[in-house]
Amino acid sequence: MFIAYTNALDLARSLKPIIEGLRAYDAELANQLQRAATSIVLNVAEGAERRGRDPKRFFTMAHGSASEVRACLDLAEVWEWRVDMRVARKLLDRELALLWGLTHSTAPSTNSRPPRGA
């Protein structure tokens, strides 16, 4: 299985109690966090099935959504809302690293054609 996808699902699972806890403080932020986590999973899944240069676009969108998750968690800390984020933060850091690798790879595409005359 695709590691970035599996980790994104684990991240979403870890965010579920955080989202539920945040609803008591700010339902809108909780909804935004849920949408961002969902976007990570869906974009990683779609990118994993694409070929050529197209996957990078989906992994870039997933990376943006992961950054949005980080911002939601940062805000919850700024407002001093009591939710345990330790596990989610570790999974989020891993997801961001995986997505960075997927969007900054210098390896040639497996679908690229050899130059003419080769």
What are the pLDDT digits (tens) for 20-53?
Answer: 999 999 999 999 999 999 999 999 999 999 887 7
Centre a 10 Å sphere on the Cβ of residue 67 and count the other Cβ atoms it contains. 15
- Summarised one tens digit per residue, pLDDT across range 60-111 is 999 999 999 999 999 999 999 999 999 999 999 999 999 999 999 765 444 4
> DSSP state, 80?
T
- pLDDT at 113 exceeding the cut of 50: no
Count of all residues that appear for the chain in the document? 118
- Check residue 110 and give its pLDDT: 42
CA distance 92 to 60: 15
CATH topology of domain 3-103: de novo design (two linked rop proteins) (1.20.1440)
Closest by Cα among 76, 101, 79 to 89: 76
pLDDT tier, 1 (very low <50, low <70, confident <90, very high otherwise): low
Asked if residues 44 and 2 have their Cβ atoms less than 8 Å apart, the reply is yes
- Predicted confidence at residue 52, as pLDDT, reads 79
Residue 54 has pLDDT above 70, yes or no: yes
**Phi-psi bin for 107: left (phi > 0), alpha (psi -120 to 50), beta?**
beta
Q: What is the pLDDT of residue 105?
A: 74
pTM of the model: 0.86
